[in-house]
Chains A and B, each alone.
Chain A
Amino acid sequence: DGGITQSPKYLFRKEGQNVTLSCEQNLNHDAMYWYRQDPGQGLRLIYYSQIVNDFQKGDIAEGYSVSREKKESFPLTVTSAQKNPTAFYLCASSPGRVLTFGAGSRLTVL
């Protein structure tokens, strides 16, 4: 079945550590997105990519980095520079503008 796979589902990290969240899609979608969801703030756009080897910053890119070396993959690294990284992270892909979402990754910083 086609879809988006995010891993891990739950992740704990210590302060000062970088962590990478995986997002893989087999839908052959060109565009991929990373969002952060916090209670009462909706989904905030971190980064998005419309084609391989290209990506743009969203509204809250500071402290995050991405790569798009393959069409199927769009990993997100949460760096130690991100001041408040504990959140629920959602990856999405789109052939145009209708988004298909993964199940999400919940990151907790201890």
Chain B
Amino acid sequence: AQSVTQLDSHVSVSEGTPVLLRCNYSSSYSPSLFWYVQHPNKGLQLLLKYTSAATLVKGINGFEAEFKKSETSFHLTKPSAHMSDAAEYFCVVSGGNNDMRFGAGTRLTVKP
């Protein structure tokens, strides 16, 4: 079965500084990988997805992620954090049978 490990349960950055949320995955198949965001008291929203095309994936709101097969990683980055980025972020892996498994989440705090 597939699994993901989000390496940080909480990340705190200052507004205007870079964001790095780390995700490692395990999969027996060539995986599809996703990042979702959940703002407080709101539903989950897809940020970006990797499905075996370009390894650098651009998403919404200035986020991007790079698929590195040799490192089994799919880290999420943003050059400059905004207050509105404060939320919970989930890395998700999908294998050959369309099961979708979430990581434990990383809570991003943005300080003024």
A97 to B94, CA, bound (A): 7
How many positions in chain B have a CB within 8 Å of any CB in the partner chain?
A: 23
Among B11-19, B61-69, B75-83, B100-108, the one that faces the other chain is B100-108
Q: Is the pair A101, B43 in contact by a Cβ cutoff of 8 Å?
A: yes
Bound: A104/B43 CA distance, A: 8
Known: A97-B51, A97-B94, A98-B49. A40 touches B104 (CB 8 A): yes
A92 to B45: give the CA distance in the assembly, Å. Answer: 12
For window 86-102 of A, CB contacts with B under 8 Å fall at: 90, 92, 94, 96-99, 101-102
Interface set of A (CB-CB < 8 Å, partner B): 31, 33, 35, 40-45, 48, 50, 56, 58-59, 90, 92, 94, 96-99, 101-104
Q: Is B7 on the interface with A (CB-CB < 8 A)? A: no
Whether B100 lies near A45 (C-beta < 8 A) is: yes
Q: Is the CB of B98 within 8 A of A42?
A: no
Partner of B49, one of A40, A48, A97: A97
Cβ contacts A to B, 17 pairs, < 8 Å: A42-B103, A43-B102, A45-B101, A50-B98, A56-B99, A59-B101, A90-B44, A97-B34, A97-B94, A97-B98, A98-B34, A98-B46, A99-B46, A99-B92, A99-B100, A101-B43, A101-B44
Enumerate the 8 nearest inter-chain pairs by beta-carbon distance, A residue then B residue, closest first.
A43-B102, A42-B104, A42-B105, A42-B102, A101-B44, A97-B94, A97-B32, A101-B43
- Give the residues in chain A near B102, CB-CB below 8 Å: 35, 42-45
Closest to B91 in A: A42
How many Å lie between the Cα of A7 and that of B99 in the bound state?
24
Chain B residues numbered 1-52 whose CB sits less than 8 Å from any CB in chain A: 1, 6, 9, 32, 34, 36, 43-44, 46, 49, 51
Q: How far is the CA of A97 from the CA of B104 in the complex (A)?
A: 19
Contact pick for A45, options B9, B32, B34, B99, CB 8 Å: B99
Asked if B74 is an interface residue, CB under 8 A from chain A, the answer is no
B34 contacts which chain A residues (CB < 8 A)?
A: 97-98
